[in-house]
Structure 1
Amino acid sequence: MFGAIVAGRLVQTNLQQIDETHFVFPLEQPYEINHLTVFLLGTVPFPEGYAATVHFAWPGGEYFPLGTLTNARPSSIYKVRPHLPAGISPATATAAGPAQLGIEIAAADVVENIGNSLKTASAAGKNQEVAQRVDIGKVAEKIVKNLFNYLHSFGGEVKLTPETPIPLSVFQRWYDNFTRKIERDRGASFLDRED
């Protein structure tokens, strides 16, 4: 009834049916996943008055909702941003096991309510899962690195040292540029691109 594709991989064919309304795709190498697509195969539509919610769980983690599927909207693409838990390397993360892509069939009104709450949370920028996985120390480090690189862009032939006086107007320009990038990108994803 369902199919899934992790970007850059073949179609998932390992759907496991838990019961009449619950299905799971185990997703190997979860910390390499960026985008995934979930869809109805088209062979069996939802019964009248039913639809499905789509959920995701990192290895050992709780499920969180990604979105919904209906007969009118039989496929969706989701961005799943991998965040390695503190102290875990990519090699040990792979050993942690697969992530789980869960699908639950439910009454259409229940699915619609979940879909509406996801849209509201997304519009408000309150993606709880991302917020729970943010490492504040890493974010601060990336911001400081951005400032450091900005200041060094003025160095030219002059060697900047810890004693080099820097006018406050330079910090103000950096801050204005930094906040403009955040507004443009609707977040600080540009900091990840600078690594």
Structure 2
Amino acid sequence: MPHRRSYHHGNLREALIEAAITLIEQSGPHSFSLAEAARRAGVSAAAPYRHFKGRDDLLEEIARRGYVEFAETMERAYADGRPDPLAALARVGERYLQFSRERPGYYMAMFESDISITAHTELYAAEQRSIGLLIRASEALAERLPKDDRPPSRMVANHIWAMSHGVVELFSRGKQGARSPISAEDMLSSGVTIYLRGLGLLGPADQPRAGG
């Protein structure tokens, strides 16, 4: 456990954030308290109030950081749609699942904490970076269709996001998906394929494989 010198060195804010992330990973975003984070950081229960108004303020900062890192990860995966938007979209899906596994504390703060995204400007901006990437991917895929036949890009993006989140929930933390003979990646890929093909965004031979 970190001890009080973290505070004296001016790192209390970061120590509290790291402590809270660990607590979220252990028991979820609703179960930890600011006092528990303070104990784990090795400071008094009053010390966190130098940096955070309360528990929700700390949770919002973790969610904000999570969304920023998430958006950067998704943007690197998409790589401006190279070599083609379908392959790029497949990479994005794989990175979505990877982020949920590797950064569970952030992921839970982002999606399971019930904080209001639209009520916080920085949170909203970070979240829109991620959905914006899926919108760009949807627009690129729709270019093969006549303009009047193209589905709304935000609708497509939201549906793909919902599928990704659903797969994470199905496979996360010992849930029933962990016993499935189908991997999370294959389940997401097949679901996105069926959806996009139904919208006419894929040809008969197209498959959203990450590849190169």
Q: TM-score, normalised by structure 2?
A: 0.27
Richer in strand (by share): 1
Higher helix share: 2
Q: TM-score, normalised by structure 1?
A: 0.29
